[in-house]
Amino acid sequence: MGSTEFDMAKTKNAIIKVCFLGAFIALAIYLVRFTSVKEYLTAEALGNFLDEAGFWGPFVFMLVYAVGVCLFVPGSLLTGLGAAIFGPYWGFLYVWVGAMLGASAAFFIGRTLGRDFAASLVGDKMKKYDDAIERNGFATVLYLRLVYFPFTPMNFGMGLTKVRFWHYFFGTGLGIIVGTFIFTFFIGTVKEVWVSGNWAQLLSFKVFFSVGLFIFSFFIPKIIKKIRTARA
């Protein structure tokens, strides 16, 4: 097989795989938006399902979270469910682990099915950015996570680049800790007050602290960008 035929076969293979990626994404969005799957994405329905799992409930939730990430279920919804069901502390742990599993799976799906096609589209101008993210993958991923770049699109998108998996993994793990903790702590705390029925707790330090953290989270991207600009 000549080099031209080899290149044509390689291009054809890349196109086939990216078509599978597109079909997967379309099917994922359809399942979540237009089927009964969405009926299980409530604290009551998912909580009942996890109760039936008993001891394995947390593990099932982490698996559900990971699959949900790959199916383009909004991360904020999954995180809120985790906090509402398991509380602010265990909820944080299970959400973080589930998010990492989902982020890793989505990355590999993007890398396996879309990287070859993406590489064929990279011209001279884009190649320098692709090479740069390979060299500075951890810092790039960490920054994008801290400024709340859309979670699921970034998981798949990073798989299309040359970033090394472990740079992506650790950048993601560190980058989502703060936001995940703040959101789960806020939702979990409010849920605890709601369940207890003791509305006087709304004036407690814990509630004020959770609200303060939640409000502060909206300013994190601006703070990170200012720090990055100041260092540039």
Helices (H), the chain: 3-34, 43-53, 57-70, 75-86, 90-121, 124-135, 137-146, 151-159, 165-175, 177-196, 205-217, 220-231
How far apart are the C-alpha atoms of 164 and 146, rounded to whole Å? 19
Max CA pair span of the chain: 78
Lowest mean pLDDT among 101-105, 172-176, 189-193: 189-193
pLDDT at 90 over 60: yes
Q: Is the dihedral of CA 31, 33, 39, 44 positive or negative?
A: positive
Percentage of the chain lying above the pLDDT 90 cut? 34
> Whose CA is closest to 96, among 79, 72, 71, 112?
79
pLDDT at 11 over 90: no
> What ranges do the domains of the chain cover?
3-176, 180-231
Q: Is the dihedral of CA 172, 70, 23, 27 positive or negative?
A: negative
For residue 128, what pLDDT is reported? 77
Mean pLDDT of the chain: 84
